[in-house]
Amino acid sequence: MDDLNRQGLARDLQNLSSECSLPVSLEVIGERWCFMILRSGFSGVRHFEDFLSEIGIARNILANRLTRMVDAGIMTRRPCDHDKRKVEYQLTEKGADLLTTIVAMRQWGEKWETGVVSNPVLADARDRQPIAKIVIQSHDGRELGLEDLCWIDEAELRDHASNNSTDRADINVRHLREINEPSAA
């Protein structure tokens, strides 16, 4: 990417940064222990003692982070079905939506920090093959790089969409439904 384009992206982002959700997101999950708790949660860990032993975190820090994540709606805390004296933590839908973030961070670390694939390898449960690299895709499925991106104001996006055919909006809604509804196969 040339310097002129990079400066343009930086300027565009600076103009839109007051409405950016990234700072708020980082306030909720933007520190190491939260990511480690999420990783464990995605691996099926549900109990305080199991988080404690898997992550190697101090009790008070774990208690604090779990409370923050419950308060933020990322996890739920409820009594265990089999032992009401124990509590169980589970990812909410909001928490589960962080999966791509966790996988992307892991893949970035494998490429730039450790230089090796993490073990265990994250694989497709159906065919037991490693997952592909997380990528940014356009609305029509093209893989996009930094040079293909620009920051635009939401109003400009709405104006652009209204100038195009409403058929495209209908197609996008149908596409989202297909993605979110289970296959009838």
Q: Does 15 lie in the same domain as 84?
A: yes
- Of 109, 177, 111, 107, which is closest to residue 135 (Cα–Cα)? 107
Kindly report, residue by residue over 93-119, the tens digit of the pLDDT: 999 999 999 999 999 999 999 999 889
Q: Does 176 lie in the same domain as 109?
A: no
Kindly report, residue by residue over 56-97, the tens digit of the pLDDT: 999 999 999 999 999 999 999 999 998 888 999 999 999 999
Q: Does 160 lie in the same domain as 70?
A: no
Single-letter residue type at 152: I
pTM of the full structure: 0.73
Q: Does 89 lie in the same domain as 176?
A: no
Question: How far apart, in whole angstroms, are the C-alpha atoms of residue 89 and residue 69?
Answer: 10
Domain-embedded: residue 98: yes
